[in-house]
Structure formats: structure tokens, C-alpha cells
């Protein structure tokens, strides 16, 4: 209660802003994830690893746009390239462009994809990946992981530009279109449980188009796969002709140079990318094996989007691709590992029921003494302590992601001095908890 009182004392402007914004925007936000009680902090500007809120407070940003701001806010190279596109090249052609082709070629090489298409959000990429898997297999059902989040996609493929053959000549009455989304069955399985997957496939395998999974789950803090789990998933999908979709919206460039699949050595059929690849601009992609992407070539499915691969976003993407070298990412990862080691030391010293989990440039404190292997384990962690830990930080100028299922990100703009702030802050919390 004292920490919440402290929160409302320094963030009055955010409270007032939320009251105003709620008159026009449901909950006063532009995405439901931006909302929290009593109100979210409203940010006015950002630079490097730091945010300034509407009250003029400076906050160390460890959320970094839910991981999208890997290269840092207002990264000078991104700013320069985007400004160049904005002032000299143009922002939207809706035609093929060398800029989009160049980026596609770069991602082919970087992520080991045969073919890909650009979209504008992770949600769209997932929607199209599932559509591609359905077109490729001629099946409808999908498998997903219990507790996993993959964006806001819903089945929306009802009566879009129907064939003349279906609707009759110009003077024919407009036919009634049955509203039948037929989303298909979604089978839900626990992460890290190959037995469950095998059972679902044995019973329903012939109806299942795709299995969608984050290779490392980054929407339950961070949950890593057991040794051999992803290889087992790969083999099971092969056996049943199921398209394996790795949702790398979050792991993309943050799990390492070419995402979690390359890091962990298991190749999916399709991959979805978003967030970190765009340097803060709305860029996403889906792609993978040629035979699956062939459905877009031969017309078994279509893929649309006015803004797909626009030159403004491509300029940012090119800059991000150039900036995110092995060396740059390795340095940020080493910084992250040092911070996690320091936090683990504090956890040991104060005998806290917690441990850190990390992947690449991301990390989190999981408030349980034992490892989390799936959603149910995650739900059994101590959310009270997780919330207190977040609140403790933000009250002292350190903004980790407010959603307790997120993780911090060490961007290319963070320094060891910045990470020392996080560590000191955690030490303060540990001492208070033990006092």
C-alpha cells in the first residue's frame, strides 16, 4: 500500500492524462496491453535507454517497447535512414521496390528463409502464417500452447471479394452470405510435454494444419524448452504433415543474431517476425520453406497489405539489420548475463524464492524457487512479489515491463551503469523484503 501511495504521488500527470484519454480511447490507451491499474505511466519522449513521462520524470527503460526497441530509442542510424526516406525517397509506392527486395534478401540470409512476405504487425504475420498452413495442408485445425499469446488474430476470411460464379450476374440479387467463420478447432497442449502433443496428433493429426509455438516462450516471463523438446515437436509435426510455425515475434533479433530457431538448432516450416526487426516502426514478416510459401505463388492463398514493405519502414529495417551485428548483440547479451548473475547473487544472499531466466538480450526474475516449464507452473509463481518488484522499480525510476509476463531487454543503448541501476534497485527490494 505504501508503494502504491508513492506511485500516485510522483505520477499525477499520468493519472490526469489517463482520465482525459479515457474520454476518447477505451481505457485511455491504444492497445489493451498498455493499460494497468490504477493508470499507466504516460510517456512524452524517449532517447537511448531513457523515457520522459508527462510529469517530466526520467525513467530507465527496460521494457523497450516490449522488446521492439532493441537498437535503442532514436538510434542515430535509424533516424538518419528514416529521415532520408521521409525527405528524399518517399514513404509509400504500393509497387515492388529495390528497398523491399533488398530487405527480403537480407532476411533470407540472416534467418535462413527460402521466401518471405512483409506485414505490419505480429498479429498479421500469425494470421497469414496460419492461412498459409491451412492452404498448404488443406486442413483447418491448429495446435497451440496453453497460456501462449500470439497477437490479436481471429478468423476473418468470410466472403471477401467472392467469385462472380458464386454471386451471379450484375442484375442478380445479392446472395445472402452465411456468417460462418469456421475458425476450425484449436487444440491446446502444455509446453514441454511431448506426450500430450503425441496424443493430440494420434487422434486428430489428419485435421491439423499447423502447430504454433514460441520456441522459447516470452509471454510467460521466459520459459525455455527442455532438452530435446523442440526437436521432438519438429519430428512429430513431420510425422503428421503438420506445418510447424515458430512465432519469433519476440525472440527475433533478441534471442541472438538469427532468432531462437537458429540458436537452438531446430528449423520450423514457417517463422513469424515483428518487433525488434523494425527499430520501432511497424514491420513484421512471415516466411520459411519454399514449398509452403508456394501457396502465395500459385494462388492457393492471397496476402495483402497497402503498407507492406513500404520504403519508410524498409529504411528502418535496413538500418537495424546493419546495426545488429554479432558483435553488437553479443556485447548486449554479455551485459545482460552480468546483470542476471548479480541479481542471482542477491537472490542467494537474501534467500529469496526466485531465480533469473534469460535468453540473449532479455531477462526476468521469476518468483519461484523451482524452474517454470509450462503455463501451470507459471501460474503457481508468486504474482504478489512480482508486482511488488515491478512497483518498487518504477517508484525508483526503473521501468521494467508492467505486464508481469514480460521481460526486460538490454538494448544496444544500455550501459553497464544503466544495468547497475537495475541491480541496486533489486538489492534494495531484497533488503526490504528480508527486513
Where on the chain is the footprint of ligand PLP (CB under 6 A)? 66, 121-123, 126, 149-151, 214, 219, 247, 249-250, 274, 284
DSSP H or E run through 272:
strand 270-273
Q: How far is the CB of 69 from ligand PLP (least distance, A)?
A: 13
Check if 275 is active-site. Answer: yes
Q: How many whole angstroms separate alpha carbon 46 and alpha carbon 248?
A: 26
Taking alpha carbons only, the member of 174, 132, 179, 175 closest to residue 153 is 132
CA distances from 129 to 116, 208, 244 (A): 10, 14, 10
Taking alpha carbons only, the member of 153, 233, 159, 231 closest to residue 190 is 233
Q: With H, G, I as helix, E, B as strand and everything else as coil, classify residue 28.
A: helix
> What single string gives the DSSP state of each residue in 113-137?
-SEEEEESSHHHHHHHHHHHHHHHH
Considering 275, 289, 362, 425, which one is annotated as catalytic?
275
Residue sitting closest to ligand PLP (CB) = 122
Q: How far is the CB of 66 from ligand PLP (least distance, A)?
A: 6
Q: How far is the CB of 296 from ligand PLP (least distance, A)?
A: 20
Which ranges of 41-173 would DSSP assign to H, the alpha helix? Answer: 76-84, 98-111, 122-137, 164-167
Q: How far is the CB of 267 from ligand PLP (least distance, A)?
A: 18
Q: How far is the CB of 284 from ligand PLP (least distance, A)?
A: 6
Considering 39, 107, 149, 153, which one is annotated as catalytic?
149
- The residue (of 216 and 314) whose beta carbon lies closer to ligand PLP is 216
Q: How far is the CB of 18 from ligand PLP (least distance, A)?
A: 21
- The residue (of 342 and 404) whose beta carbon lies closer to ligand PLP is 404
- The residue (of 247 and 321) whose beta carbon lies closer to ligand PLP is 247
Own/partner pairs for 373-376, CB < 8 Å, 24+ apart? 373/191, 373/192, 373/223, 373/226, 374/146, 374/147, 374/190, 374/191, 374/192, 374/193, 374/223, 375/145, 375/146, 375/147, 375/148, 375/190, 375/191, 375/220, 376/146, 376/190
Check if 247 is active-site. Answer: yes
How many CB atoms neighbour CB 57 within 10 A? 17
CA distances from 272 to 29, 113, 152, 288, 430 (A): 26, 11, 14, 9, 38
- The residue (of 205 and 287) whose beta carbon lies closer to ligand PLP is 287
Q: How many whole angstroms separate alpha carbon 191 and alpha carbon 373?
A: 7
Considering 61, 247, 377, 418, which one is annotated as catalytic?
247
Q: How far is the CB of 281 from ligand PLP (least distance, A)?
A: 12
- The residue (of 152 and 184) whose beta carbon lies closer to ligand PLP is 152
Sign of CA dihedral 415, 417, 420, 421: negative
Could you give the count of Cα atoms lying within 13 Å of 294 in the half-sphere of its Cβ? 7
Q: How far is the CB of 202 from ligand PLP (least distance, A)?
A: 27
Q: How many whole angstroms separate alpha carbon 272 and alpha carbon 184?
A: 21
- The residue (of 271 and 343) whose beta carbon lies closer to ligand PLP is 271
- The residue (of 66 and 111) whose beta carbon lies closer to ligand PLP is 66
- The residue (of 29 and 167) whose beta carbon lies closer to ligand PLP is 29
Check if 149 is active-site. Answer: yes
* Catalytic positions: 149, 247, 275
Amino acid at each position: 500500500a505504501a508503494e502504491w501511495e508513492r506511485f500516485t504521488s510522483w505520477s499525477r500527470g499520468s493519472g490526469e492524462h489517463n482520465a482525459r484519454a479515457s474520454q476518447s480511447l477505451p481505457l485511455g490507451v491504444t492497445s489493451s496491453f498498455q493499460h494497468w491499474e490504477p493508470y499507466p505511466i504516460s510517456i512524452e519522449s524517449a532517447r537511448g535507454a531513457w523515457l520522459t513521462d508527462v510529469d517530466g520524470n526520467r525513467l530507465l527503460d527496460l521494457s523497450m517497447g516490449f522488446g521492439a526497441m532493441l537498437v535503442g530509442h532514436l538510434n542515430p542510424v535509424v533516424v538518419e535512414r528514416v529521415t532520408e526516406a521521409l525527405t528524399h525517397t518517399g514513404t509509400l509506392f504500393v509497387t515492388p521496390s529495390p528497398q523491399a527486395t533488398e530487405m527480403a534478401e537480407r532476411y533470407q540470409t540472416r534467418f535462413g528463409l527460402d521466401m518471405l512476405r512483409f506485414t505490419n504487425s505480429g498479429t498479421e504475420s500469425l494470421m497469414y502464417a496460419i492461412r498459409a498452413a491451412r492452404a498448404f495442408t488443406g486442413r483447418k485445425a491448429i495446435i497451440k500452447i496453453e497460456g501462449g499469446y500470439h497477437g490479436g488474430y481471429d478468423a476473418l476470411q468470410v466472403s471477401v471479394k467472392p467469385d462472380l460464379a458464386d454471386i451471379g450476374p450484375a442484375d442478380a440479387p445479392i446472395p445472402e452470405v452465411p456468417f460462418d467463420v469456421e475458425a476450425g478447432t484449436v487444440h491446446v497442449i502444455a509446453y514441454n510435454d511431448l506426450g500430450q502433443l503425441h496424443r493430440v496428433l494420434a487422434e486428430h493429426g489428419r485435421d491439423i494444419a499447423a502447430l504454433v509455438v514460441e520456441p522459447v516462450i516470452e509471454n510467460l516471463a521466459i520459459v525455455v524448452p527442455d532438452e530435446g523438446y523442440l526437436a521432438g515437436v519438429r519430428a512429430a509435426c513431420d510425422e503428421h504433415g503438420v506445418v510447424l510455425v515458430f512465432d519469433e515475434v519476440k525472440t527475433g533479433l533478441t534471442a541472438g543474431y538469427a532468432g531462437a530457431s537458429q540458436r537452438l538448432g531446430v528449423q520450423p516450416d514457417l517463422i513469424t517476425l515483428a518487433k525488434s526487426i523494425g527499430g520501432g516502426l511497424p514491420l513484421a514478416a512471415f516466411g520459411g520453406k519454399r514449398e509452403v510459401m508456394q501457396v502465395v505463388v500459385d494462388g492457393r492463398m492471397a496476402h495483402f497489405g497497402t503498407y507492406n514493405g513500404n520504403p519508410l519502414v524498409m529504411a528502418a529495417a535496413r538500418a537495424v539489420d546493419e546495426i545488429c551485428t554479432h558483435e553488437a548483440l553479443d556485447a548486449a547479451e554479455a551485459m545482460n548475463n552480468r546483470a542476471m548473475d548479480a541479481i542471482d547473487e542477491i537472490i542467494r544472499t537474501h534467500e529469496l524464492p526466485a531465480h533469473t531466466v534469460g535468453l540473449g538480450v532479455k531477462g526476468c526474475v521469476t518468483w519461484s524457487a523451482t524452474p517454470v516449464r509450462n503455463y501451470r507452473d507459471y501460474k503457481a509463481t508468486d504474482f504478489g512479489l512480482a508486482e511488488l518488484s515491478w512497483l518498487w522499480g518504477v517508484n525508483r525510476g526503473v521501468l521494467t515491463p508492467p505486464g508481469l509476463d514480460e521481460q526486460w531487454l538490454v538494448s544496444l543503448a544500455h550501459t553497464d551503469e544503466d544495468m547497475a541501476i537495475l541491480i541496486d534497485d533489486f538489492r534494495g527490494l531484497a533488503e526490504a523484503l528480508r527486513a
